[in-house]
Amino acid sequence: MSVGLIALLDDVAALAKAAAASLDDIAAQAGKAGAKAAGVVIDDAAVTPRYVTGFSPARELPIIGRIALGSLKNKLLFLLPAAIALSLLAPQAITPLLMAGGLFLCYEGAEKVYELVSPHGAHHHEEQLDPARTDAKSFEDSKVAGAIRTDFILSAEIMAITLASVPDAGPVAQALILALVGIVITAGVYGVVALIVKADDAGLWLAGRPARSPAGAGLRLLGRGLVKGMPYLLKLLGALGTAAMIWVGGGILVHGAEMFGFAAPGHMLHDAGEAAAQAVPALGGLVSWLVQAAGSGIVGLVVGAALIPVVSMVVAPGWRWLSGRLRKLRAA
């Protein structure tokens, strides 16, 4: 074998190692970025099951599959190219847009808390269709379209958080990280949603098994536990989603304020976390994170509560007026 060929093989091996290291780095960065978007992911998983309410069990998984495909299109066909274009053409706009998303998360989370303590005080104005007066296909299409619209907002925030987590990566690396995060999160969220939605059916099936042996009796007991426990699990998931939205939104606002020179809230939370960690050295890192997350949650709740009257008295009426004007222009 010639020296030149050996050198070429060495170069190929070196390139392969570099490529593998690069892929490992991209996977690691994607994991870190995806973890920062955890709050939005939890809320996405909490919101989606209600879109299959009112359908026969045979249609539940196909509907979830349609929503998952729409979510993937949102992330890969629309949001990913927009994020890369923004990173290349106007990187200075990423932080303000991320903060706008943080305001949305704070508002949504605070509104859910307000609805809990005052059920008639805040309302989501969503289009409601009566399945008894609508043919099955139209009803399903409407539900799927509504879920995909909601997913677009949550997906936009996931992609923005991911992009802001890798500001120094090149465009190709950013695109790969965004695609990886988008695919993994979509698969994870809608896989969990599918398990949640079908847990009742699995529980009923297990509860109907014959109890001729200890194993059979155990399966029946497990089935009854699933059927009885799922409503509580959904409530718990919804509560976690709300808390995560408020915490993530508040954290985004605190970090964004630091980027614009208003560092006092961030420093206060950091100092409080450090003090708590010193007080409980055995759990220092965890305690510090919990204190800072709680502080971000308080910021998010206060900001979100302040936004509720602004949205209900200014933004919502303005949007309805604009939508009416646009409908009239299209009709003319």
| Amino acid identity at 159 | M
| Amino acid identity at 82 | A
Phi, psi dihedral angles at 53 (to 5 degrees): -70, 135
Distance separating alpha carbons of residues 119 and 265, to the nearest angstrom = 32
User: What was the pLDDT predicted at 286?
Assistant: 87
User: What was the pLDDT predicted at 307?
Assistant: 95
With 0-12 / 13-18 / 19 or more C-beta atoms within 10 angstroms meaning exposed / middle / buried, residue 289 is: middle
Distance separating alpha carbons of residues 257 and 300, to the nearest angstrom = 13
Torsion angle, alpha carbons of 144, 150, 156, 162, to 10: -90
pLDDT tens string, the chain, 332 residues long: the values are 444 445 544 544 454 444 445 445 556 655 555 555 655 666 666 667 766 766 778 888 999 999 999 999 999 999 999 999 998 998 888 889 889 888 988 998 899 899 888 766 555 544 455 555 567 788 888 888 888 887 887 788 788 888 877 777 888 888 888 888 889 888 888 888 888 888 888 888 888 878 777 887 888 888 889 888 888 887 887 788 788 889 888 988 999 999 899 999 999 999 999 999 999 888 878 899 899 989 999 999 999 999 999 999 998 889 889 888 888 888 87
User: What was the pLDDT predicted at 47?
Assistant: 65
Q: Is the dihedral of CA 304, 307, 312, 317 positive or negative?
A: negative
| Strand runs labelled E in 94-253 | none
Distances (CA, A) of 37 to 61, 156, 169: 25, 11, 18
Structure tokens at 112: 């859910």
Distance separating alpha carbons of residues 217 and 203, to the nearest angstrom = 13
- Non-local CB neighbours of 255 within 8 Å, separated by 6+ positions: 266
Distance separating alpha carbons of residues 329 and 61, to the nearest angstrom = 40
Structure tokens at 228: 């009885």
Q: How far separated are the first and last CA of the chain, in Å rounded?
A: 79
Query: pTM here?
Result: 0.72
User: What was the pLDDT predicted at 26?
Assistant: 57
User: What was the pLDDT predicted at 52?
Assistant: 73
Look up residue 77 and give its DSSP letter.
Answer: I
Q: Which of 200, 198, 183 is nearest to 68 (CA)?
A: 183
User: What was the pLDDT predicted at 15?
Assistant: 44
Is 147 within 8 Å of 3 (Cβ atoms)? no
Is 30 within 8 Å of 183 (Cβ atoms)? no
The residue assigned the tokens 């269709």 is 129
Structure tokens at 143: 């539900």
Structure tokens at 282: 């055995």
Length of the chain: 332
Look up residue 169 and give its DSSP letter.
Answer: S
